[in-house]
């Protein structure tokens, strides 16, 4: 039997800090493996490949989806989870450094998931841990597992990522998910359109990265025109917590909203994605349309994180 390179790919022990540290071949491998995890993620099938393994979930910043889906992923693989969702209940409150907290988690567990408000915190954690460290979001920096589940969702819904016309809408300046996603979509040769309030445009370095990969993104404020023949609309929240100046936030809040009216002229098979949480940028009336796949996208975090944990910690279905 012919053994393909994907069959012998070994990610055991790797840190996942940024999507940029994974090759396209590795991303494809993770996405293919995540597809195989779906029946295990739904509970239709069961496995104990991570029995005896422990995952630390260290959340220094609020989370619903990322934390719960990592925990679900570990439980579905028969592993166990330790950690915290409220850092004020840890010894950080007594002045313990991040490095020392990580040293503790490293001794107690087989992999570490960390979300932290400071950019670079996950990379620092990786320096102090032998166990693999997964960045679950560091400030306005990176959120690689969100990027993987976004790519997975596009692939599952559209069968391919290449050549898709993708509109990224919202806070493109502070939104960590759109920075990673724009890069990754460019890696696949997708067509990119950036729509945002003027002050929240995509950072120049991300645009430069896309161009380097051969994709010339279009930036516009004309949302209706941009989505008319789009395949994917990726909406993001304007993140109040990332604005250094509250006045800057007040000027842009409520600048856009996706509702049934604006969707009257889009393609029938347009999919609308959102990393969630949403506030006002998608009207709940959109939830019942065939375009809305953001809740399915959130579920996809489970098989994708199961695949990743299985590959990093060891044990394969
Ligand atoms: N998408 C995402 O990261 O959601 P949470 O902040 O709820 O984890």
DSSP secondary structure letters along the chain: -PPPTTTT---TT--B--GGGS-HHHHHHHHHHHHHHHHHHTTSS---TTTT-EEEEEESS--SHHHHHHHHHHHHTT-EEEEES-GGGSGGGGT--HHHHHHHHHHH-SEEEEEESSTTHHHHHHHH-SS-EEEEEETTS--HHHHHHHHHHHHHHHS--TT-EEEEES-TTT-HHHHHHHHHHHHTT-EEEEE--GGGPPPHHHHHHHHHTT---EEES-HHHHHHT-SEEEE----GGG-SSHHHHHHHTTS--B-TTTTTTS-TT-EEE--S--SSSB-GGGTTSTTB-HHHHHHHHHHHHHHHHHHHH----
The predicted pLDDT at position 1 comes to 43
One of 142, 143, 237, 291 is an active-site residue; which one? 143
The predicted pLDDT at position 239 comes to 75
The predicted pLDDT at position 238 comes to 84
Which ligand 1 atom sits nearest the alpha carbon of residue 61? 6
Catalytic status, residue 66? yes
The predicted pLDDT at position 9 comes to 77
The predicted pLDDT at position 141 comes to 80
Domains and CATH numbers, the chain: 5-141+300-313 (3.40.50.1370), 144-298 (3.40.50.1370)
Catalytic status, residue 316? no
Residue pLDDT, tens place only, 125-144: 999 999 999 999 998 788 99
Residues 302 and 292: their CA atoms lie apart, in Å, by: 19
Residues 148 and 275: their CA atoms lie apart, in Å, by: 12
Mutate to test the pocket of ligand 1, among 275, 278, 304, 305 (most ligand atoms within 8 A of CB): 275
Question: Which pTM value belongs to this model?
Answer: 0.94
Flag whether pLDDT at 6 surpasses 60.
no
Confidence of residue 2 (pLDDT cuts 50, 70, 90): very low
Confidence of residue 247 (pLDDT cuts 50, 70, 90): confident
Confidence of residue 7 (pLDDT cuts 50, 70, 90): low
Catalytic status, residue 236? no
Ligand 1 centroid from CA 214, angstroms: 30
Flag whether pLDDT at 256 surpasses 50.
yes
Percent of the chain with pLDDT over 90: 84
Which whole number is the average pLDDT over 205-219? 97
Which ligand 1 atom sits nearest the alpha carbon of residue 298? 1
Catalytic status, residue 94? yes
Work out the mean pLDDT of the chain and round it to a whole number. 93
Pocket of ligand 1 (CB under 6 A): 63-66, 137, 146, 275-277
Determine which of 8-17, 65-74, 99-108, 284-293 has the lowest per-residue pLDDT on average: 8-17
Which residue is closest in CA terms to ligand 1's atom 1? 275
């Amino acid at each position: 039997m012919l053994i393909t390179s994907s069959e012998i790919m070994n990610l055991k022990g790797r840190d996942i800090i940024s999507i940029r540290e994974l090759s396209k071949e590795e991303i494809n491998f993770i996405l293919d493996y995540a597809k195989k995890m779906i029946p295990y993620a739904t509970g239709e099938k069961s496995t104990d490949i991570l029995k005896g393994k422990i995952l630390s979930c260290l959340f220094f910043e609020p989370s619903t989806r990322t934390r719960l889906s990592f925990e679900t992923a570990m439980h579905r693989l028969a592993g166990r989870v330790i950690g915290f969702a409220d850092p004020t209940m840890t010894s950080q409150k007594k002045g313990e450094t991040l490095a020392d907290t990580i040293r503790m988690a490293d001794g107690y567990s087989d992999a570490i998931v960390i979300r932290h408000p400071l950019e670079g915190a996950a990379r620092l954690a990786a320096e102090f841990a032998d166990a693999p460290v997964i960045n679950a979001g560091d400030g306005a920096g990176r959120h690689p597992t969100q990027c993987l589940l976004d790519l997975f969702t596009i692939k599952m819904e559209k069968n391919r990522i290449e050549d898709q016309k993708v509109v990224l809408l919202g806070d493109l300046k502070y939104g960590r998910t759109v920075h990673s996603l724009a890069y990754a979509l460019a890696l696949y040769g997708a067509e990119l359109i950036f729509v945002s309030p003027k002050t929240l445009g995509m950072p120049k370095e991300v645009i430069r990265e896309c161009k380097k990969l051969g994709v010339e993104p279009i930036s516009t404020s004309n949302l209706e025109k941009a989505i008319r023949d789009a395949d994917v609309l990726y909406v993001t929240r304007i993140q109040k917590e990332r604005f250094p100046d509250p006045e800057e936030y007040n000027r842009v809040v409520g600048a856009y909203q996706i509702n049934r009216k604006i969707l009257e002229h889009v393609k029938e098979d347009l999919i609308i994605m959102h990393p969630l949480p949403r506030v006002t940028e998608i009207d709940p009336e959109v939830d019942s349309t065939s375009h809305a796949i953001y809740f399915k996208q959130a579920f996809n975090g489970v098989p994708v994180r199961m695949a990743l944990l299985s590959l990093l910690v060891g044990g394969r279905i």
